[in-house]
Structure 1
Amino acid sequence: MSHVDTIKQFVIKEFLPDVGLDELDADYDLLAGGVVDSLGLLKLIAWIEGTFDLAVGDTDLDPENFRTVAAIDSFVEGASAPKTVGI
């Protein structure tokens, strides 16, 4: 299940209050565009952890995971997927 609209709503509420939901492209680079800075990234990660009940570990802190709404959605989907253990 995609979380794109939920993620967009948060990004708009916190960082782009004058932008409509349909105006924010899921592939817009939030980091290069200056929408999310280092402090904003911490706020975004805390929101992801709380909203999606995920623990974002040190190895997950690759900026590519949080660069776009689509990347955040992919990260959430991957982190939420059941882990299989090889025997």
Structure 2
Amino acid sequence: MDYKARIKPFILNNFLFTDDAAAVADDASLIRGGIVDSTGILELIEFLESAYGIRVAPEEMVPANFDTIDSISLFLGRKAAGGMQ
């Protein structure tokens, strides 16, 4: 599944207030780049839970899973492989 097709527009519209896909690279750090902060990560997690019918456990709420569009997509792929709990 192409998770990036939904994740990137959400990030662009909600954090960068643009629809220009070139505004952020898929491998750019959202945290170090100042695009999302801790509250933004929670908003992103809420979106992912709603959009994909998953539950993100507290131990999964680590920067490694949510720092880039690529890492978010990989995280969702792992959740899908594990049954999207």
Task: Report if TM-score (shorter chain) is over 0.5.
Answer: yes
1:46 is aligned with what amino acid?
A: E
Question: RMSD in angstroms over aligned alpha carbons?
Answer: 1.3
Unaligned runs of 5+ in 1: none
Unaligned runs of 5+ in 2: none
Q: d(CA) in 2 for partners of 1:9 and 1:47?
A: 12
Higher helix proportion? 2
**2:73 aligned counterpart, secondary structure:** helix
2:9 is aligned with what amino acid?
A: Q
Moved over 6 A (4+): none
- The higher radius of gyration belongs to 1
Tell me how many residue pairs correspond in the alignment: 83
Cα deviations by residue, 1:25-59 (Å, 9 ceiling, x for unpaired): 10010000000001111100000100011100012
1:32 is aligned with what amino acid?
A: R
**Is 2:58 the counterpart of 1:79?**
no
What residue is the counterpart of 2:49 in the other structure? 49
**Is 2:21 the counterpart of 1:37?**
no
1:43 is aligned with what amino acid?
A: E
What residue is the counterpart of 1:69 in the other structure? 69
2:32 is aligned with what amino acid?
A: A
- Retained in 2: the 8 A contact 1:49–1:56? yes
What residue is the counterpart of 2:14 in the other structure? 14
